Amino acid sequence: MRILLTIAYDGTDYSGWQKQKSPAVRTVEGELEKGLRQLFRRPDLACIGASRTDAGVHALGQRAVIDVETTIPPEKIPFAIRSFLPADIVVTKAEEVSENFHPRFDCVKKTYQYQIYQDTLPNPKERLYSTFVYTSLDVDKMNEGAKAFMGTHDFQAFCAAGSTVSSTVRTIFDCHVEQEGHFIRLYVTGDGFLYNMVRIIAGTLIAVGQGKIEPQAISSIILSKDRRRAGQTAEPQGLTLMKIYYEMAENQGKSIDRPESV
C-alpha cells in the first residue's frame, strides 16, 4: 500500500531535505529512509517527498509517500518508526492513500512561516529558529507591502540564481505579518514557490519594516523581474514549512486533507 507520511524536523544539523549522492552528506530524507528501511526490513525502500527544504530550514508539515507491504496499521507507523529516527526528525502522521497519489503533483498549496526575533540584543535560545534584527521594524508597513505579493504574478525578481524552472509564475493566496512580543512572523501561502522565494520575500519585507523599501514599491519590483531590486535573501534558520495541502486523496473513499483558509 502507498502510505502518506507527515514529517516534522529541526533542520539545523542537515544539508536540507533531499538526499545527496554522497552518504557522508547528512539529509533529512536520507535519515528518514534509513529508519524506514530498518523498520520495514527493506534495504531498497525509498520515499518521495513533497517539498525540498534547504540546509537549516525546518518543517512541521513536510509530506512524503512510501510503498510498502506491512501488517503495521498506518496509524501505528509514527510510533513504530520513532526508535529508528534521530530525535530531531519525527513522523507525526501516517495514512493510506491511493496508489496513484503523488505528494508533489497533487499538492494544491503550501504554507511557510518566517520568524524574526527583533530586539536590541539577540536571544541565544532563538538563534537556530529565527533571524535576529536589532533595528525596530514597522509591522504595519510590512503588512502593507505583503498585500502586494498576493495574486498571480511572475516572481522572477524573487527567485535566486540557479533555478531551472520553466516558469516563474506563481499564485500567492495569503501573505501577512503578525507580531507577538519580540517575535515577528511572516506567513506565506501559495500554490508553489521558487528557489529561495519565501526567504527573499522575507528579506524584502524586513527592508520595508526598516524603511529601506517603501511598501508601494513592491508591485513595481515584481513587475521589474529584476532580482537586484528586491531585498536580501533572509537567513535559512527562520524558515519553517508549516503545512502542505491536498484537495482530495482517496483513502477508502475518504478525504485526507482539504485546503482551509490560512
Q: Provide the 3-class DSSP secondary structure of residue 22.
A: coil
54 is catalytic: yes
**In angstroms, rounded to a whole number, what is the distance separating the alpha carbons of residues 34 and 42?**
10
Q: Are strands 169-180 and 151-154 parallel, antiparallel or unpaired?
A: antiparallel
Residue type, 214: E
Q: What are phi and psi of 8, to 5 degrees?
A: -115, 140
Which DSSP string corresponds to 24-38?
Answer: TS--HHHHHHHHHHH
Q: Are 158 and 190 in contact (CB under 8 A)?
A: no
CA terminus-to-terminus distance, the chain = 32
Q: Are strands 2-9 and 58-67 parallel, antiparallel or unpaired?
A: antiparallel
Catalytic member of 54, 138, 154, 191 = 54
Return the active site residues. Answer: 54
